[in-house]
Amino acid sequence: MSSSSSKLESSHAIELVSVEASKIKNVSLYTGRAEVTRVYPFEAKAGKNKVKISGLPSVLHVNSLRVRVEGQGTGTIHGVSVIPTPTIDGTASSDGSLPALVDEQRELEMSLTRAKKFSASLDTYLSTVTPDRISAENLAKTFEEMEITAKKLDTNIVELEKKLKDVAERLNAEYEKEQARSSQEGGDLGKTVVVDVLAVNDGNIEIALIYAVNTANWTSGYDIRVDTQSKEQPVTLIYKAAITQLTGESWDDVPLSLENICPTPGIGLPTLGQWRLTAIRGSPASQPLAPPSLGRRRTSLIALSGRETESDISFEEIESEKDSLPRSTTNTGVDGVVEKTGPSTTYQVPGTVSVPSDGHPHDVVITELKLAANMSWVCVPRIDTRVHLKANVKNDSDILLLPGTANVFVDGSFISKSEIPLVKPKVSFDCSLGIDPSIRITCHPLSCTSSQSGLFYARSVTRSYAQKLTVHNTKDTDIEKLTILDHVPIPEDSQINVRLMNPALTLPTLAKPAPGATTSGGKGASQEKADVLVPPPAIVAEGVIAQWAHADEPDVDAASLGRDGKFAWVCALPPQAKVDMLSQWEVTAPASLTLSGL
């Protein structure tokens, strides 16, 4: 037997302590889990080398573990085994409840967001319900059904908020439990991995361990800094990530990438079965035939795939899927880089970061963006005379902004917190910037006079109302757009007539095309297409106009303008300027009719 053969058959034992003998090369952080890459340099002997690496996180996913040889040295991985982590009572160090709670929290947050959107949609629909669209006999029934639906939504929102609070408390308790377990088990670094490396020659070799851990998470957050003196780019948006990890090992000066999509295990293509139609004797002939339910719940898809829990996830599958998708890299304008992989986005945090294993959130900055915005002020004095500052912000970057809470600073002062929705690149979003006390609106007392007319048996009463508003801009700068929303009552009885006298606005009308013009229906089309003529705004004073509410919004239903009785004063005020606005309307009804709502 040659000497080279005997070298290959020999076995060389190497023992390494993970934290001391390695450095973290990269951390990819998902929602509720992280993938860590550690590099271990060591001196190998020609032949078999049994490398025993101790002090790895006890929460390490065994199925996620991968080992590869890095650039330095030549060698072949022949085997990998994991020694289980014993604890004081002989049970596993982590029961997996933390990732389950993180998933539950995420699902509840998405459900709460959907419920709030449904509630807002219902309010929007309610504002469009008018007597000219729904008959009087169906109006009460419609409002009753909407009230029932609104109560269900409100109840659902309250229950979801309670569940979210409960999950947050359980998460905190679980983090504290993990932290206590960590101190009992020597830093929660009790797992050991044994790697068999075959080297042809003596020399230095580097191997990389890639493994997943559950007890790590990140959420997006923002600082919005508004400079009201700036015209071109008044908004600075600082995109941040709050990182929490309790893996047992500290991430010291590590390159960190953030993934906006969490790997979803066990989601296979559902099987489409047969759709059978059966006659039910004695059932009503009018019974509707409903197709099988669409949009199955996530749990049903998991059952179809044959997997029961998220612990079946294979990070090898994730990596292979990511490698097969097209990639593009975009410079953010600062140090951060955004990498797009199919439907997901990777945020590369600039430089290196340090995140200790303490279960507390640590903020890091992903990027800083200078954004254009249209600033506006809005007030509804019949409800609240305070003026709200709003910004319509254009996301001019190539970065996907995830939902999160923003701290709002206006001219260097903290104003409020606001919620940022999911914002795609090149898309605008509205952001509430809180109350602006430097604009003062005074709502003067409402005046009312009444008069009667007609014969005794057909006598009618006309009530005339007047409301004066005073707006004072105490700023040293111009206000380009202040919108003051107001309304007049809408009659629900044909005997009641309401007339808006000031501002002098008229309702939109339909204009038919010229005779002989046809629609796009082609030859023989006889129905003429009618266009909606929207009346121009009424000029009230210098810098002040009146128009129907929302008339300047894109995609507005022009035919519905004014049908809800809502109108708006739109003002542009110079520094220290004051302006008065007077709204007047009349309500005429039979004297025998008692009015409700005035």
- Distance CA(394)–CA(371), nearest Å, equals 6
- In the β-sheet with 76-83, what is the strand arrangement from edge to edge? 11-17, 47-56, 191-199, 76-83
Other C-beta atoms within 10 Å of 207: how many? Answer: 25
Tell me: the pLDDT tens digits for 329-343? 333 334 455 555 545
Residue type at 590 in one-letter notation: P
Predicted local confidence at residue 173, as pLDDT: 79
- Distance CA(529)–CA(508), nearest Å, equals 16
- Distance CA(588)–CA(570), nearest Å, equals 29
Tokens for 498, please give them: 């309401």
DSSP secondary structure string for all residues of 467-505: EEEEEEE-SSS-EEEEEEEEE----SSTT-EEEEEES--
How far is C-alpha 258 from the chain's CA centre? 17
Would you kindly state where each structural domain of the chain is located, as residue ranges? Answer: 3-93+185-214, 96-183, 440-513+529-590
- Distance CA(370)–CA(351), nearest Å, equals 21
Predicted local confidence at residue 10, as pLDDT: 59
- Distance CA(419)–CA(430), nearest Å, equals 10
C-beta separation of 265 from 313 below 8 A = yes
Predicted local confidence at residue 72, as pLDDT: 64
DSSP classification of residue 411: T
C-beta separation of 566 from 435 below 8 A = no
- Distance CA(217)–CA(380), nearest Å, equals 41
- Distance CA(524)–CA(201), nearest Å, equals 89
Other C-beta atoms within 10 Å of 377: how many? Answer: 22
Task: Tell me the backbone φ, ψ of residue 458, rounded to 5 degrees.
Answer: -135, 40
Predicted local confidence at residue 133, as pLDDT: 62
Output the pTM of the full model. Answer: 0.61
C-beta separation of 418 from 404 below 8 A = no
Other C-beta atoms within 10 Å of 403: how many? Answer: 14
DSSP classification of residue 383: T
Other C-beta atoms within 10 Å of 510: how many? Answer: 9
- Distance CA(200)–CA(214), nearest Å, equals 37
- Distance CA(243)–CA(360), nearest Å, equals 8
Other C-beta atoms within 10 Å of 171: how many? Answer: 19
DSSP classification of residue 349: -
Tokens for 572, please give them: 């542009």
Predicted local confidence at residue 209, as pLDDT: 94
* 250-252-256-259 Cα dihedral, nearest 10 degrees: 10
Distance (Å) of CA 159 to CA 70, 101, 102, 152, 155: 52, 17, 18, 10, 6
Q: What residues are paired with 195 via a beta bridge? A: 51, 80
Predicted local confidence at residue 262, as pLDDT: 58
- Distance CA(190)–CA(86), nearest Å, equals 8
For strand 11-17 and strand 404-410, is the pairing parallel, antiparallel, or unpaired?
A: unpaired
- Distance CA(467)–CA(131), nearest Å, equals 26
Tens-of-pLDDT digits for all 598 residues of the chain? 445 444 445 578 999 999 999 999 999 999 888 999 999 999 988 889 999 999 999 888 888 899 998 876 678 888 898 886 554 343 444 455 666 777 788 788 888 888 888 887 777 777 666 666 666 667 777 777 888 888 888 888 889 888 888 888 887 777 667 656 554 443 478 889 999 998 888 888 999 999 999 889 999 999 999 988 887 889 999 999 999 998 889 999 999 999 877 555 555 667 777 777 766 554 444 444 444 443 333 332 222 233 333 333 344 443 443 433 333 333 333 445 555 554 568 899 999 999 999 889 999 999 999 999 988 899 999 899 999 998 999 999 989 999 999 999 988 888 888 889 999 999 999 888 888 888 999 999 999 998 888 776 678 889 999 999 999 999 888 888 999 999 999 888 888 899 999 998 888 887 665 555 554 444 433 334 457 788 889 998 889 999 999 888 877 888 888 888 999 999 999 999 999 999 999 999 888 888 877 7
